[in-house]
Amino acid sequence: MKFPTHSRRACVLALCAAAAGGAFASSHREAPSIAGMPKLDATDFYMFRSYEPGRQNYLTLIANYQPDQGPYGGPNYFTMDPNALYEIHLDTDGDAVENVTFQFKFKNTLRDIQLPISGKQVSIPLVQSGGISAPNGATSNLRETYTLSVVYGDRRKGRAEAVTMAGGGTEFDKPTDNIGDKTFGGPTGYAAYANQHLYAVNIPGCATPGRVFVGQRKDPFAVALGQVFDLINLNPLGAPNANPDSLAGRNITTMALEVPIACVTGADPIVGGWTSASVRQGRLIASPPKSGHGTTALNGGAWTQVSRLGMPLVNELVIGLKDKDKFNSSKPRDDAQFADYVTNPTLPALIQTLFPSAPAPTNFPRSDLVAAFLTGVDGVNKPANVKPSEMLRLNTGIAPTPKASQMNLGVLAGDTAGFPNGRRPGDDIVDAELRVAMGVLCVATGASDTLKVGCMPADAPAGGAALTDGAAVSPAQFLDAFPYLNTPLPGAQ
């Protein structure tokens, strides 16, 4: 099959913009409202059995927030919103309702370091007054901390208990962002400093301790954004590393949690997961603000969800522009309202318009996409009893693949411990979902009958194409131990 290397003029400009303008940047500014609330914008969600040696009985959950962080982003770096509630939800019985929720709440405390200037004590304008080497050091002008709770049952009405440090205490320090090598004592200084913020934790309901890390990391997502935004101006059958990663120079903020599998699974080993962020319903701007740090607003009312992310790229590639904000405020149990976007997707039709030699799949409703996004794939990660709903699903009964043996296309490459059976940092989501959108699961069904998704090769003429955006992702790029994501890029070297 031959694809042209650029877009066809037959494409209507407005349709192309709709496809490209929100696509492929895994929840980086994916909806109109959340684009104006970057601290609450979930960029990626990962869920996988830990592949760090000796940790295979643990489930790793990673929720990334705050897209497009320039490493040089001072003097106010990328703290989390202290007036927000960040959550990771787990559905352990397939009914599209959370059974376990982990809640993160943040607090910023200004030390207000002052210097004597000609007989007067004057506050410094920076977040540090010297080198930083340990949590809550005397030279850190701003201390950011968080608490972590676990809620069993309904996220608002269930039983909530505090997660504590293995040595006691409920307030965890978050490392200062990577200001630069001089601040942290050289090129390896920040990694050593950040590792001091990796905590062993006691989780109520779990017999063995877990681990938590919250802090800045290098953005793990890779995509050729420039070419995608330019009417998908790339060669879809080119080399998988033909284009630069547009996010190579960006950081994000990570909330990583490692939980014993035994305390979040029941009779069915399959777990569904997603992350969300909520703020109070009302916000009043104070004028003038109180003296302090981040005191310009007063917040009150019920928690209101403004961000949601489970399966990657759903709000970008699947949900229509008019419903993107609605999706971010919704819960999985109500996903029937978005069913048409999955059963009758527009992206394959737009790709066909751009590349006429790549005809879109013809099986409607798209049962293969229902399996990938709403139920899990039969024989891989579909719960015994499942209510169709969008979330990331992981079969914890499948052993983790060691990092050196992982395939970046996951299940599509025969590595059943990878995407869409959960998601690992080294899974190439863009390439995998491009192929799924164009019907690769139909081709796999016809070839081996191991993926029962209700379609055949004849339904997907382009389903066997090795589609790629050209921005490669490899498991070798990432750490082989918790929290798995790489040290953030420094603001200065």
* pLDDT tens readout for residues 328-359: 999 999 999 999 999 999 989 988 988 888 89
**Which residue in this structure is represented by tokens 């109520």?**
204
- Distance (Å, whole) CA 345 – CA 326: 18
Kind plus residue range of the DSSP H or E element containing 150: strand 142-152
**Which residue in this structure is represented by tokens 């349709």?**
15
Cis amide prior to 204 (ω within 30 degrees): no
Residue 4 has pLDDT above 90, yes or no: no
Closest CA to 1 of 342, 236, 272: 236
How many other C-beta atoms can be found within 10 angstroms of the C-beta atom of residue 331?
A: 16
Rounded average pLDDT over 154-182 = 96
Query: b or e along 213-238 (b: 16 or more beta carbons within 10 Å of the residue's beta carbon)?
Result: bbbbbbbbbbbbbebbbebbbbbbeb
> What per-residue confidence (pLDDT) applies to 26?
58
How many other C-beta atoms can be found within 10 angstroms of the C-beta atom of residue 166?
A: 12
Q: What's the chain's average pLDDT?
A: 90
Using CA of residue 325, residue 327, residue 328, residue 334, what is the dihedral sign? positive
Closest CA to 485 of 63, 97, 141: 63
Residues in the chain, how many? 493
Q: What is the largest CA-CA distance in the chain?
A: 83
> What per-residue confidence (pLDDT) applies to 230?
67
How many other C-beta atoms can be found within 10 angstroms of the C-beta atom of residue 110?
A: 15
Residue 6 has pLDDT above 60, yes or no: no
DSSP sequence for 285-300: E-SSPPSSSS-SEEEE
> What per-residue confidence (pLDDT) applies to 27?
57
DSSP state of 361: P
Residue 446 confidence class, pLDDT cut points 50, 70, 90: low
> What per-residue confidence (pLDDT) applies to 74?
84
Residue 21 confidence class, pLDDT cut points 50, 70, 90: very low
Residue 10 confidence class, pLDDT cut points 50, 70, 90: very low
- Distance (Å, whole) CA 384 – CA 477: 35
In this predicted model, what pLDDT tens digit does every residue of 69-115 receive, in sequence order? 999 888 889 999 999 999 999 999 999 999 999 999 999 999 999 99
**Most confident residue range from 30-39, 51-60, 230-239, 466-475:** 51-60
- Distance (Å, whole) CA 142 – CA 149: 23
In this predicted model, what pLDDT tens digit does every residue of 42-58 receive, in sequence order? 999 999 999 999 999 99
> What per-residue confidence (pLDDT) applies to 444?
79
Residues 6+ apart with CB under 8 A from 264: 59, 90, 92, 100, 271
Q: Which residues pair with 132 in a beta bridge?
A: none
Q: What angle do CA 65, 263, 481 make, to 5 degrees?
A: 50
Cis amide prior to 420 (ω within 30 degrees): yes
Residue 485 has pLDDT above 80, yes or no: yes
> What per-residue confidence (pLDDT) applies to 8?
36
> What per-residue confidence (pLDDT) applies to 246?
85
- Secondary structure of 453-469 in HEC code, one letter for each residue: CCCCHHHCCCCCCCCCC
Backbone angles phi and psi of 349, in degrees to 5: -65, -40
Rounded average pLDDT over 412-423 = 96
Residues 6+ apart with CB under 8 A from 345: 318, 366, 369, 437
> What per-residue confidence (pLDDT) applies to 197?
98
> What per-residue confidence (pLDDT) applies to 118?
98
Q: Which of 130-144, 156-170, 414-428, 434-448 is least confident?
A: 434-448
Residue 237 confidence class, pLDDT cut points 50, 70, 90: confident
Pull the structure tokens for residue 420: 């869409």
Kind plus residue range of the DSSP H or E element containing 229: helix 225-229
> What per-residue confidence (pLDDT) applies to 33?
84
